[in-house]
């Protein structure tokens, strides 16, 4: 089965009620490729989720940017997967590099969150990626393989149908310094091989591996043409009308 192109908009800690409504209007009025060509998910802040759910066209799903590692309880400031499910959400982003670096989320912790979120029925956008120093040391694949292994060790092969892997090199996030198509394709292809060798051939073939890091309307079409790039996780540009052009790049994808 071909892998459906996937474009996520990670709005991070941004937005006002007014700007979020304007962004939703832009998406609602856009001419998007059909659902069979591209799956689109946007991740507003927790606070803006209900507003987006009320207004956004049904073809675009809403995601949380994070969730707690366990269920409800005495965890001040956290939001559990149970609460997200109760709200009607189907997606959560886990392991984003900003949480790994700013909040010291370990591979183990991200893996435990993934297990819990999946157990509640959520789909997970699992982020992995290396820093510039790690890349320059030639450690890229060790780092991303360790990040994915921590999760794979706790999942069964069937869980992977509910996981999208987002390769987001830290040095490309919010820097305007996008990975070249060759750099991204190389990591995606190796991640896919890792999944094939260590989980199953099916999981390797079917898991969507999307790229994130300074994706824009200018660079998305070339990236979308690479055989192992199954879509994007977009930060800054997902807050602008150009997100519509990035979604449309699904038409450029290499046939899987």
Q: So which residues are the catalytic ones?
A: 96, 168
Angle at 44 between CA 40 and CA 50, to 5 degrees: 100
Residue 149: how many other CB atoms lie within 10 Å: 15
204 vs 235 by CB, closer to ligand 13P: 235
The two beta strands, 5-10 and 208-212, are unpaired
Minimal distance in Å, beta carbon 24 to ligand 13P? 19
Minimal distance in Å, beta carbon 179 to ligand 13P? 11
- Which residue has tokens 């956290």? 78
Torsion angle of the four alpha carbons 184, 99, 235, 187, in this order, in degrees rounded to the nearest 10: 10
* Contact pattern for ligand 13P over residues 236 through 255, marking x by CB under 6 A: xx------------------
Q: Interface with ligand 13P by CB under 6 A: which range of 24-32, 104-112, 136-144, 207-215?
A: 207-215
Q: Which letter does DSSP use for residue 2 in this model?
A: P
User: Phi and psi (nearest 5°) for 62?
Assistant: -110, 140
* Contact pattern for ligand 13P over residues 9 through 28, marking x by CB under 6 A: -x------------------
Return the H-helix or E-strand segment holding 212: strand 208-212
Q: Which residues within the stretch 35-94 sit at the binding site for ligand 13P (CB under 6 A)?
A: none
Judged by CB under 6 A, the residue of 44, 169, 213, 231 near ligand 13P is 213
Judged by CB under 6 A, the residue of 71, 88, 121, 174 near ligand 13P is 174
- Strand-pair partners of 234: 9
199 vs 250 by CB, closer to ligand 13P: 250
Q: Interface with ligand 13P by CB under 6 A: which range of 31-39, 141-149, 210-218, 246-254?
A: 210-218
222, burial (CB in 10 Å: exposed 0-12, middle 13-18, buried 19+): middle
Q: CA 154 to CA 94: how far, in whole Å?
A: 15
Question: Token digits for 108?
Answer: 């183990």
Judged by CB under 6 A, the residue of 163, 234, 246, 247 near ligand 13P is 234
If one asks whether residue 215 binds ligand 13P (CB under 6 A), the answer comes out as: yes
> Which residues are at the interface with ligand 13P (CB under 6 A)?
10, 96, 168, 173-174, 212-215, 233-237
């Amino acid at each position: 089965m071909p892998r459906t192109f996937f474009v996520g908009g990670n709005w991070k800690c941004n937005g006002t009620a007014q700007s979020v409504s304007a962004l939703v209007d832009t998406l609602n009025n856009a001419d998007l490729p059909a659902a069979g060509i591209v799956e689109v998910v946007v991740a507003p802040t927790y606070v803006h989720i209900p507003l987006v759910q009320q207004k956004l066209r049904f073809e675009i799903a809403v995601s949380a940017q994070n969730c707690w590692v366990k269920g409800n309880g005495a965890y001040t400031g956290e939001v559990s997967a149970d609460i997200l499910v109760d709200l009607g959400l189907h997606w959560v982003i886990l392991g984003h590099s900003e949480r790994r670096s700013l909040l010291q989320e370990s591979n183990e912790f991200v893996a435990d969150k993934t297990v819990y979120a999946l157990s509640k029925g959520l789909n997970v956008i699992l982020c992995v990626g290396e820093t510039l120093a790690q890349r320059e040391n030639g450690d890229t694949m060790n780092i991303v393989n360790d990040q994915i292994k921590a999760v794979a060790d706790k999942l069964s092969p069937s869980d992977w149908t509910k996981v999208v892997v987002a390769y987001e090199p830290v040095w490309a996030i919010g820097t305007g310094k996008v990975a070249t198509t060759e750099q991204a394709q190389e990591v995606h292809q190796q991640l896919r091989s890792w999944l094939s060798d260590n989980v199953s051939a099916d999981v390797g073939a079917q898991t969507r591996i999307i790229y994130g890091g300074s994706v824009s309307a200018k660079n998305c079409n070339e990236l979308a043409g690479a055989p192992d790039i199954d879509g994007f996780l977009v930060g800054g540009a997902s807050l602008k009308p150009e997100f519509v052009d990035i979604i449309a790049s699904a038409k450029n994808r290499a046939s899987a």
